[in-house]
């Protein structure tokens, strides 16, 4: 059991940190304030393989191990969580399902586009009546000749406003909705597929989250991912990987808020002493450091299991649960340490505070993560 | 180079475990210049560093950017070298590992100690023409034409290869490392480890013993809080201010004030 990051992990961390601090650091505040998706930085990220972090080299990806992937997402999110969200969702649930379940032809058609970032990926499961209850999906995909006609509305789609390909979770057998759901690859520009207005959200505001509308949208049969009825399987597998990405994102947010708190505690003086000399603040910092370290170890353990091709669902759920709840706790504490200034947009911590909250909600709420973990606990024989 | 300089006065060395190693900024500009020469004229780039085993990381980073192979000079006997001994060891390594080199690219100075001595000393050891503080270079056949900053003048010089240049940070902004490059650099990048015995250095040789100079101490200067009041007509004061402090102000804001006025 070696808990030390390898030289490669350190090198990946430094390189992504340098990019994030140079390119996203100066604009993070502005793009959050204006809810702007920074296309100019996305274009710089494309040749650096940020959109194909774990895609195979033959399709233009970097083929990184999962821990390096987590490090990359953490470092982007430490500076700008909204862009970190774009990158992790694109990689984990936009590209990965095609890499894992796609036919050779589908992989050839879509992976190079996705890995190069020319198409941004999105994953569409949530609907007005189907959040945690994925079985409540009402979008239908009815077979029609050599294709399917899709009808329905997907909401809260991360990257929705800019996606080039979207993976749509739809019911293919309306008689039996809880069994026969399938996943379809739908490309931007397909007639009947349109994008709604960008949501006005509390945090992650640089990410173009929107609804996607499907009105008699016809997709060819070759765009079905896997087989009819594979929807649940693909969905669960995608979400396992997605959880690692979101955990990394939450960890990055927590880390950024923590570092800001340490810096502020050293500099800010009250009662003629730096805040860091007061035991209360020292206790806060000690707790924050410990929780982040625990979150980090949980995350890397899930990454190591995935890379050893061992089951990792419960561990990924633990990592997601703990990293996200740690992020909300730490960012809350960070605002407190900054006092009045922490509440002002002149400092970054209030953005971290707003960004952190949703990590407890998307890609499976904390409550759903607990369902996964308790199921694993109770299914053990002893 | 290292990000900070925590100094151990007892041993007279850097407390390396407290500072994080990184690729020296001027060297990354030098590498970028080398990559551009390779893209334009072809060639083979060997990157070399002398340091503790963890210095391998910067070689991998260089390979990820496009260097062809890396050489890590690492040995307890090489530790604690001053610039003279560093240049000596680098020269022996280049003679052994890259005997047919055409051009050595160095950073003009390291951002931690800023002596700027290794480049020129290295060209002396290798007995090749060398030019420091190069801003731009162009290769035509075997002739290298360089533009470099000397005091406040720009000079254009030429020499025939083989030779050595040290690059400033003015041009050749380093490109970002791609993650695919990084993965491949670690997966199958070629990094050779070279020790003192491989270079056939004298068995009695150690850097600490053989360095003619020794750093006695490293400390941060205390900031001066001296108030200076300048009286007179605004125009005169501004002129006087710029005359006395343009270098300090320019250095602080990262702009060359002489160019602006």
My answer on whether omega of the bond before A349 falls inside 30° of 0, hence cis, is: no
What is the model's pLDDT at position B113?
77
C-alpha–C-alpha distance, residues A289 and A295, integer Å: 10
What is the model's pLDDT at position A369?
97
Contacts of B176 in chain A (CB under 8 A): 15, 18-19, 44, 48
Is B2 contained in some domain? no
CB contact under 8 A, A11 and B57: yes
Is B126 contained in some domain? yes
Domain co-membership, B169 together with B250: no
Domain co-membership, B16 together with B82: yes
Q: How many CA atoms lie within 13 Å of A276's alpha carbon, on the beta-carbon side?
A: 12
Domain C-terminal end among B210, B233, B252? B210
Most B CBs within 10 A among A11, A88, A111, hence the mutation to make, goes to: A11
Angle between helices B179-188 and A66-79 (to 10 degrees): 150
Cβ contact B23:B58 at 8 Å = yes
Is B215 contained in some domain? no
Q: Show the tokens assigned to B90.
A: 């680098």
Hey, which bits of chain B come out as E strands? 7-8, 13-14, 46-50, 69-73, 103-107, 130-140, 143-150, 153-160, 163-167, 191-194
Domain co-membership, B193 together with B227: no
Is B42 contained in some domain? yes
CB contact under 8 A, B178 and A7: no
Q: How far is A17 from chain B (nearest CA, A)?
A: 11
Q: Spell out the domains of chain A, with CATH numbers in brackets.
A: 7-120 (1.10.540.10), 122-229 (2.40.110.10), 232-379 (1.20.140.10)
Domain co-membership, B12 together with B107: yes
Residues 6+ apart with CB under 8 A from B242: B249, B257, B261
Domain co-membership, B188 together with B169: yes
Per-residue pLDDT tens listing for chain B (261 residues):
654 556 666 666 666 555 567 788 899 999 999 999 999 999 999 999 999 999 999 999 999 999 999 999 999 999 888 999 999 999 999 999 999 999 999 999 988 778 899 999 999 999 999 999 999 999 999 999 999 988 888 999 999 999 999 999 999 999 999 999 999 999 999 999 999 999 988 888 888 888 998 888 877 777 777 888 888 899 999 998 888 888 888 877 777 777 655
Domain co-membership, B247 together with B144: no
Q: Is residue A310 exposed (0-12), middle (13-18) or buried (19+ Cβ within 10 Å)?
A: exposed
For A7-60, the pLDDT digits (tens) are 999 999 999 999 999 999 999 999 999 999 999 999 999 999 999 999 999 999
Q: How far is B205 from chain A (nearest CA, A)?
A: 31
CATH code at position B59:
3.40.50.620
CB contact under 8 A, B178 and A49: yes
Contacts of A49 in chain B (CB under 8 A): 178-180
CB atoms within 10 A of CB B171: 15
* Domain total of chain B: 2
Domain co-membership, B137 together with B227: no
CB contact under 8 A, A7 and B183: no
β-strand B153-160 against B143-150: which pairing, if any? Answer: antiparallel
Residue (of B196, B177, B207) closest to B59 by Cα position: B177
Written as one string, the DSSP assignment of B109-161 is: S-TTT----HHHHHHHHHT--EEEEEEEEEEETTEEEEEEEETTEEEEEEEES
A267 a catalytic residue: no
pTM summary value:
0.90
Does B183 contact chain A (CB < 8 Å)? yes
Is B239 contained in some domain? yes
Residues 6+ apart with CB under 8 A from A156: A126, A199, A209, A211, A362
SS3 A346: coil
Domain containing B239 equals 221-261
Domain C-terminal end among B171, B191, B210? B210
CB contact under 8 A, A48 and B57: no
Domain co-membership, B31 together with B151: yes
């Amino acid at each position: 059991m070696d808990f030390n990051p390898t030289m490669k992990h350190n090198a990946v961390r430094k390189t992504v940190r340098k990019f994030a601090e140079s390119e996203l650091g100066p604009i993070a505040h502005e793009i959050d304030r204006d809810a702007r998706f920074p296309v100019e930085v996305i274009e710089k990220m494309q040749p650096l393989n940020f959109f194909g972090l774990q895609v195979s080299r033959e399709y233009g990806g970097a083929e990184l191990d999962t821990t390096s992937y987590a490090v990359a997402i953490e470092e982007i999110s430490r500076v700008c969580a909204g862009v970190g969200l774009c990158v992790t969702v694109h990689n984990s649930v936009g590209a990965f399902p095609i890499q894992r379940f796609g036919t050779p032809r589908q992989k050839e058609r879509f992976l190079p586009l996705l890995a190069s970032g020319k198409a941004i990926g999105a994953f569409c499961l949530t609907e007005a009546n189907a959040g945690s209850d994925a079985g409540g999906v009402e979008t239908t995909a009815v077979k029609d000749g050599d294709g399917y006609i899709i009808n329905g509305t997907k909401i809260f789609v991360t990257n929705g406003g800019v996606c080039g390909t979207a993976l749509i979770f739809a019911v293919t057998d309306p008689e039996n909705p809880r069994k026969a759901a399938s996943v379809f690859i739908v490309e931007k520009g397909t007639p009947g597929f349109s994008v709604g207005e960008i949501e006005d959200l509390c945090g992650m505001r640089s990410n173009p989250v929107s609804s996607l509308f499907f009105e008699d949208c016809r997709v060819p049969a070759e765009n079905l991912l896997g087989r009819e009825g594979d929807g649940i399987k693909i969905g669960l597998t995608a979400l396992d990987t997605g959880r690692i990405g979101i955990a990394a994102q939450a960890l990055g947010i927590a880390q950024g808020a923590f570092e800001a708190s340490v810096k502020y505690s050293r500099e800010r003086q009250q009662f003629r002493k730096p805040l860091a000399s007061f035991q209360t603040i020292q206790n806060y910092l000690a707790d924050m450091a410990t929780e982040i370290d625990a979150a980090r170890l949980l995350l890397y353990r899930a990454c190591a299991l995935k890379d050893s091709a061992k089951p990792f669902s419960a561990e990924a759920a633990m990592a997601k649960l703990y990293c996200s709840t740690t992020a909300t706790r730490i960012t809350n504490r960070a605002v407190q340490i900054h006092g009045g200034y922490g509440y002002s947009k002149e400092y970054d911590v209030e953005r971290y505070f707003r960004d952190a909250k949703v990590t407890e909600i998307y890609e499976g709420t904390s409550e759903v993560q607990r369902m996964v973990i308790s199921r694993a606990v109770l299914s053990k024989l002893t | 180079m290292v990000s900070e300089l925590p100094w151990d006065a007892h041993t007279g060395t850097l407390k390396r475990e407290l500072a994080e190693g990184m690729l020296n900024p001027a060297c990354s500009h030098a590498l970028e210049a080398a990559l551009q020469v390779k893209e334009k004229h072809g060639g083979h780039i060997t990157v070399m560093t002398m340091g503790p085993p963890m210095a391998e990381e910067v070689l991998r980073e260089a390979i990820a950017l496009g260097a062809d192979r890396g050489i890590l000079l690492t040995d307890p006997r090489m530790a604690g070298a001053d610039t003279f001994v560093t240049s000596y060891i680098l020269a022996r390594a280049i003679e052994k590992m890259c005997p047919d080199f055409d051009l050595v690219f160095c950073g003009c100075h390291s951002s931690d100690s800023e002596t700027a001595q290794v480049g020129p000393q290295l060209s002396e050891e290798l007995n090749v023409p060398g030019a420091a503080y190069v801003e731009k270079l162009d290769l035509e056949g075997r002739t290298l034409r360089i533009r470099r900053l000397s005091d406040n003048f720009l000079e254009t010089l030429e020499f025939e290869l083989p030779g050595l240049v040290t690059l400033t940070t003015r041009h050749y902004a380093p490109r970002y490392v791609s993650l695919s490059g990084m993965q491949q650099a670690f997966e199958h990048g070629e990094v050779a480890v070279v020790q003192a015995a491989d270079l056939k250095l004298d068995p009695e040789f150690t850097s600490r013993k053989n360095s003619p100079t020794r750093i006695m101490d490293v400390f941060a200067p205390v900031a001066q809080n001296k108030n200076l009041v300048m009286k007179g007509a605004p125009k005169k004061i501004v002129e006087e201010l710029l005359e006395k402090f343009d270098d300090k102000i320019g250095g602080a804001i990262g702009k060359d004030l002489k160019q602006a006025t």
